Structure 1
Amino acid sequence: MGKIIAVFNQKGGVGKTTTNVNLSASLGKMGKKVLVLDLDPQGNTTSGYGIEKNEVENTIYEVMLDGISMKDAIIHTEFENIDIVASATDLAGAEIEIAAMDDREYILKNAIKEVAEEYEYIFIDCPPSLGMLTINCLTSVDSVLVPIQCEYYALEGVSQLMETIKLVRTRLNPDISIQGVVLSMFDGRANLSIQVVEEVKKYFKGSVYTTLIPRNVRLAEAPSHGMPVIYYDTKCKGAVAYLELAEEFIDLEEDII
């Protein structure tokens, strides 16, 4: 059964979607079969993989709200070993609809069961807020990958994030754990970036990945071209960093096994 991972931070603008798209694509490039679920109504992961969410017939919305089979919503992308279930604008109103449903916290978990055996990793891009979509996501996963930017107030909201995970562990998903922390927007020339790295390492102790994702123009440009950075510019610093992160990710997984 594939490992299910939420890319989650309640604080917006921390590189959540960038990490989801580029880490999953890098793992796919390394031969791992990956499914990406876009649970964020903004649909940036969907567009980051070159898919126009408004043109998709069956999205994660139809899976969760209309009972469509997850298999019928899977899109096989042009990128190596990457499948995706697209987001939908309708997700913005889904919180209210889900609240009235039976076993509302487990809708996504039950839908994933159908396909979990077919993938090595399933990544879920969560909304940057705590509602029923995020609760469904955290109830479904084995672990949480936390992206944090190397900027002032980097740890703002992290205690709330940890409290949320603790609450979910107590009430809904006793096995949820921290997969790791990814530090992005790193600038080695800036003292602030270096200070933030040290601060985050102290807070999360041994859970921070060694690989740092740098500020990189090509990394920022890639989404507008509908492709992960490793396909947009293989040799740029952003692409090299995400491939290194994928290697570290796999090595740590193997150490656990």
Structure 2
Amino acid sequence: MSSPDDVATTIDPVGRPLPVFPDPEPLASHGPARIIALCNQKGGVGKTTTTINLGAALAEYGRRVLIVDFDPQGAASVGLGVNPHELDKTVYTLLMERGAQVADVVRPSSVPGLDVIPANIDLSAAEVQLVGEVARESVLARALRAAEAEYDVILIDCQPSLGLLTVNALTAAHGVLIPLECEFFALRGVALLIETVEKVRDRLNPRLRIDGIVGTMHDPRTLHSKEVLARVLEAFGDQLLHTVIGRTVKFPDSSVAAEPITSYAPTHAGASAYRQLARELVARGDAA
């Protein structure tokens, strides 16, 4: 008779058989990057936490990763130990200054192989200033073109809205990863977000596709979390990834320490979950 632990290793949180996601093979060379926008117009769903820790996990597996902080709050920058408010050059510079290059604004993180393009409150002005630009939805795509050959994965941490900055991120991306808090109110906006993704795909970026929905802040002790995941599975099927990120105080603790959980608490279940997410995306062909 199998023990509960045996069952847990073979069944995901919604009751599907859990595949074994092997460690990714080492890469012989780097690039061209696959660009993934992490997007949800609802705030507080674990989007920045997922961006940082997924990026760190992919870097652990030998991938060269660039995180683009595309939120004026600059949380991804701060979470990687960069104080964007002390910088003269940020992603705003890359968007708005003619001739600005990625090399001018990129900063290394404490994680080998993981770099960040920081953002600060200046980025909030870009949304207004871009309105008058020619091909305003494609400014970020043009700015990142030169970086694609240098990295294996580029992760864009979007702000919690569906405005022009998010449309820029979707126009630049190959795929969209949707972090979804395991809570009913978080479900309400997913259909609207997917509708926006489809419009961008139809009108601006035919290559764009939804890589998946990843459940975050999951509490396995509550029926509520299980019901939310079951509803997502019913509505979106295999777009719901097997990996689910649990709720833990270690995530805010690692943010205060300005490092990913994979280095702050490398043996913690949260670190293991993000490594599994990295392996799952590679196995699905959504990351190098």
TM-score band w.r.t. shorter chain: over 0.9
2 CA distance for matches of 1:159 and 1:182?
A: 15
AA aligned opposite 2:70? L
* 1:202 Cα deviation from its structure 2 partner: 1.4
Q: Does structure 2 retain, via aligned residues, the 8 Å contact 1:37–1:84?
A: yes
Q: Which residue of 1 aligns with 2:134?
A: 102
AA aligned opposite 1:89? I
Q: Does structure 1 retain, via aligned residues, the 8 Å contact 2:36–2:176?
A: yes
Does structure 1 residue 229 correspond to structure 2 residue 261?
A: yes
* 1:152 Cα deviation from its structure 2 partner: 2.4
Partner SS for 1:234? coil
Q: Which residue of 2 aligns with 1:238?
A: 270
Does structure 1 residue 133 correspond to structure 2 residue 165?
A: yes
* 1:57 Cα deviation from its structure 2 partner: 2.7
* 1:153 Cα deviation from its structure 2 partner: 2.0
The gaps in structure 2 that reach 5 residues or longer are: 1-31
Does structure 1 residue 215 correspond to structure 2 residue 247?
A: yes
Does structure 1 residue 123 correspond to structure 2 residue 165?
A: no
The correspondence for 1:160, drawn from 183, 192, 201, is 192
Q: Which residue of 2 aligns with 1:29?
A: 60
Q: Does structure 1 retain, via aligned residues, the 8 Å contact 2:81–2:110?
A: no
Q: Which residue of 2 aligns with 1:69?
A: 101
Q: Which residue of 1 aligns with 2:232?
A: 200
Does structure 1 residue 14 correspond to structure 2 residue 45?
A: yes
* 1:157 Cα deviation from its structure 2 partner: 0.7
2 CA distance for matches of 1:57 and 1:154?
A: 36
Structure-1-length-normalised TM-score? 0.96
2 CA distance for matches of 1:242 and 1:130?
A: 26
Judging by fraction of residues, say which structure has more helix: 1
Q: Does structure 1 retain, via aligned residues, the 8 Å contact 2:70–2:156?
A: yes
Work out the percentage of aligned pairs sharing the same amino acid: 38
2 CA distance for matches of 1:21 and 1:111?
A: 21
* 1:222 Cα deviation from its structure 2 partner: 0.8
AA aligned opposite 1:143? G
Q: Does structure 2 retain, via aligned residues, the 8 Å contact 1:12–1:128?
A: yes
CA RMSD of aligned residues (A): 1.4
2 CA distance for matches of 1:80 and 1:198?
A: 37
AA aligned opposite 2:94? V
AA aligned opposite 1:85? I
AA aligned opposite 1:72? D
Does structure 1 residue 50 correspond to structure 2 residue 97?
A: no
1 CA distance for matches of 2:186 and 2:128?
A: 31
How many equivalent pairs are there?
256
Q: Which residue of 2 aligns with 1:3?
A: 34
Q: Does structure 1 retain, via aligned residues, the 8 Å contact 2:38–2:178?
A: yes
Larger radius of gyration: 2
* 1:253 Cα deviation from its structure 2 partner: 1.4
Q: Does structure 2 retain, via aligned residues, the 8 Å contact 1:9–1:146?
A: yes
2 CA distance for matches of 1:184 and 1:209?
A: 11
1 CA distance for matches of 2:186 and 2:39?
A: 14
The gaps in structure 1 that reach 5 residues or longer are: none
* 1:58 Cα deviation from its structure 2 partner: 1.5
Structure-2-length-normalised TM-score? 0.86
* 1:245 Cα deviation from its structure 2 partner: 1.2
* 1:154 Cα deviation from its structure 2 partner: 2.9
2 CA distance for matches of 1:77 and 1:159?
A: 35
Partner SS for 1:174? coil
* 1:240 Cα deviation from its structure 2 partner: 1.4
AA aligned opposite 1:87? A
Partner SS for 2:149? helix
Does structure 1 residue 41 correspond to structure 2 residue 72?
A: yes
The correspondence for 1:87, drawn from 89, 94, 119, is 119
Partner SS for 1:154? helix
1 CA distance for matches of 2:222 and 2:181?
A: 13
Q: Does structure 2 retain, via aligned residues, the 8 Å contact 1:219–1:239?
A: no
Q: Give structure 1 regions of 4+ aligned residues with deviation exceeding 2 angstroms.
A: none
Partner SS for 2:267? coil
